[in-house]
Structure 1
Amino acid sequence: MNVQDSKALTMKELVVGCSQLDVLPGNIWKNVEKAERLVSENAEKGCRLLIFPEMWSCSFVYSRLREMAETTPHVLERFQEWGRRNEMVLVGSLPERDGDAVFNSSYVIDRTGEIVGKYRKIHLFSYNREHEYFGRGEKSVVCSTSVGRLGIMICYDLRFPELARRLALDGAEILCISALWPTTRINHWSLLLRSRALENQMFVMGCNGCGKEQNLRYGGASAIVSPTGELLAEGKDGEEQVITTLDQDLMTAFRRQIPCFEDRLPGAYNII
C-alpha cells in the first residue's frame, strides 16, 4: 500500500496520550491496578488513544521472565476490558510466551476491546543482552483501528529508520512507540522521536517509562510529535500523563506542501 493511498484519520481532532509509568519490576498486579486507574482518568479527559511503556506489566526481570509471561493472557483480558469499557484504543508491550520462547510483544486493542494488532520486537538490544532472553520478531506491523492506521515499534527499534520508513510506506498515520529508555541516553530518545516524525511526515507518540530498576534509571521524556517535527507535548522525568490533540489536516497539508514520498527514488537506494 502506497503512503498516498492511506485512509485519513477517523477524527479530525483526536485526543491522545502517553501514560508515563514508573513500572515496578516484577510487581505485575500492582502495575495492572495502577494502569487501570490511569486508563479511566485519561478517558475522562477525552483521550481516545493511550500508549503504555515497554513491558508495562513487569519490566525486565530476566530471572522471572517465563513466569511473568504466563500471566500475560490474564493481563491482556484486563487490557481488552479497559479498551471496551472506556471506548479507547490502547497500545503497550508485554512478555508473550510462545512455546519455549518469550517475545517482547506490543498489543493494539481497539475501542471494542478486540486485539487488532500484535508486533514482536524486531531489534533486540544486545548491549543489555535482550537477545539472550527474547525471541526476535520478523515482521513490521501497521494495523487499522477506530482512530486511524497505527505503526508499532518498541524502544530500540527507534534507532532504525528503515523500520519507521517501512511503516510509513505501509500507510501508518501515527507511529506508536513503547519504551524503557534510560536517562543516560535520553537526549538520543528525544532527537530520534522528532527525526522519525519529520522524515516520515507523520505523527509520532513515544511513551517511555520512568523510575529505577537496580542500577538503571529510566528517563521519562515521553513525547508526542507532529509530522513537521514540532513537539506537541513532552513529559519530564517522573510519573505523569502526557496528553495533546492531533489535527489530521496538518499531516495532509504538510505532505502536499513537501511531497517527499512522491519524490522518492527507491531504485537508487537499493534498500527499501
Structure 2
Amino acid sequence: MRDIVAGCCQFSIKPGEVQRNCETAEGMLLELAAGKCRLAVLPEMWSCSFPYPVLREMAEKTPEILDRMCKIALDKRLVIAGSLPEAAGKTIFNTGYLIDSTGKIAGRYRKVHLFSLYNEQRHFGYGTSAQVFSTSIGKIGMMICYDLRFPELARKMALDGAEIICVSALWPLVRIEHWSLLLRARAIENQLFVVGCNGCGAEEKITWGGASAIISPLGTVLAQAGQDEQSIVRALNPFEMSDFRKTIPCFEDRVPEVYNPYNADICGGDDIASRPEGDDIPL
C-alpha cells in the first residue's frame, strides 16, 4: 500500500435525477483531486438513490456514468469507489464499482446483504462473492451499507489481503451511531483502514445521516463529516497498519480450527445458492 490521501464525497442524492447527481459527484471529485487526493469514495446508489419504479431505467444509464468516471479517474490519477445500479439480464444488482487511476474498472462488488427492513430483496439480486482488488494504490475491498453489520465479510477481505475497505452507504440518521461504531469496529477487528461514505439530506420519510468517516487501523477517527454536504480528506500512512499488526499480531494469533465451522455455517454456500436470482427477482 502506498502513502496516500483518501477522501469521501458526502452529498444529498436526488432520487432519479441522474444528471444532477453526476454533476454534484464530478464537482466534488475534481475538488478532491485538486487537493492531491488519490482515493475518493462515493455513497451508495449515488447516481439515483432508490427510485424503484424506474430502477431499470436508472441501471441502463450506469455504463455511460462509468465511462465518465473512468475519464475523471485517468485524467486526475484518482481511484474512485461507489455503488450504482447494475442491469444483468433480468436482474438488477446494487453494485460497487472500483475504478483505478488507469481509467480502468479494477473490480466490481455486488451487495451481498440486502436490507430486508426496506425490502431491498424485492428489487435487487443478491451478490454471491466478495473479492479484494489490486489497484495502483493498494489492495481494496468494498462493502455496501448493510454489509457493514456483518463482520464475517470484512474478515474475509482482510484475510484475502485488503489494506483498505471502502464502504458506500445510504445510512439513516436514526441509526447513525451504529454506522459510526461499526466503521471503527471493522477497522479495529481487521487492523486496516476503513473509508466510509454516507449520503445526507432528506428523502420522503427518511433522513440520511451523513457522518462519513475515515478510520485508522487502530480505530482512530482520522476525519468525520457532519450531516450536511461536504468532502472530507485525510492522509493514510501504511506504516501505521504494519506497525500495529506487528505490535498486536491478531492474524497470527487466530485459532481458526475453533471457529471456522461456525463461520462456514453462517456464511454457508447453501444459503447463498438458494437465494432467488434472475427471473425469480421481482422488479
Shorter chain as normaliser: what TM range?
A: over 0.9
Aligned length, in residue pairs: 262
Question: Match for 2:190 among 197, 200, 204?
Answer: 200
Name the residue aligned to 1:145: 135
Q: Alignment partner for residue 43 of structure 2, among 53, 57, 69?
A: 53
Please tell me the residue identity of whatever aligns with 2:178. Answer: H
2:61 aligns to what?
71
Distance (whole Å) between structure 1 residues aligned to residue 102 and residue 4 of structure 2: 17
2:201 maps to 1:211 = yes
**What secondary structure is seen at the aligned counterpart in 2 of 1:81?**
helix
**Structure-2 separation of matches of 1:81 and 1:104:** 22
1:223 equivalent among 213, 223, 226 = 213
- In 2, the alpha carbon distance for the partners of 1:104 and 1:167 equals 19
User: Considering only aligned residues, what root-mean-square deviation do their CA atoms show, in Å?
Assistant: 0.7
- How big is the shift at 1:40? 1.0
TM-score normalised by length of structure 2:
0.92
* Unaligned segments of structure 2, at least 5 residues: 265-283
TM-score (structure 1 length as normaliser): 0.95
| 1:250 and 2:205 aligned | no
Matched residue, 1:32: 22
Q: Structure 1 stretches of 5 or more lacking a match?
A: 1-8
Aligned identity (percent) is 54
- What is the aligned partner in structure 1 of residue 271 from structure 2? none
1:144-184 Cα distance to aligned partner (Å, 9 max, x none) = 00110001100000000000000000000001000000000
- Give the Cα–Cα distance (whole angstroms) in 2 for the partners of residues 240 and 38 of structure 1: 8
Q: Which residue of structure 1 aligns with residue 145 of structure 2? A: 155
Cα offset, 1:38, TM superposition: 1.3
| Structure 1 residues 76-133: Cα deviation after superposition (integer angstroms, max 9, x where no partner) | 1101111011110000000000010000000000001000100000000000000000
Instruction: Quote the Cα distance in structure 1 between the aligned partners of 2:189 and 2:195.
Output: 15
Corresponding residue to 2:252 among 242, 245, 262: 262
What stretches of structure 1 move > 4 A for 4+ residues in a row?
none
Partner SS, residue 228 of structure 1: coil
Structure 1 residue 209, shift from structure 2 partner? 0.4
Shift of 1:33: 1.1
For 1:83 and 1:212, the matched residues in 2 are separated by 29
Structure 2 distance, partners of 1:251, 1:202, is 6
Task: Identify the match of residue 93 of structure 2 among 98, 103, 111.
Answer: 103
Provide the residue aligned with 1:175 in structure 2: 165
Q: 1 CA distance for matches of 2:28 and 2:194?
A: 21
Alignment counterpart, residue 105 of structure 2, candidates 103, 108, 115: 115
Deviation at 1:202, TM superposition (A): 0.4
Does 2:81 align with 1:91? yes
1:16 aligns to what SS in structure 2?
strand
- For residues 207 and 25 of structure 1, the distance between their equivalents in structure 2, rounded to whole angstroms, comes to 18
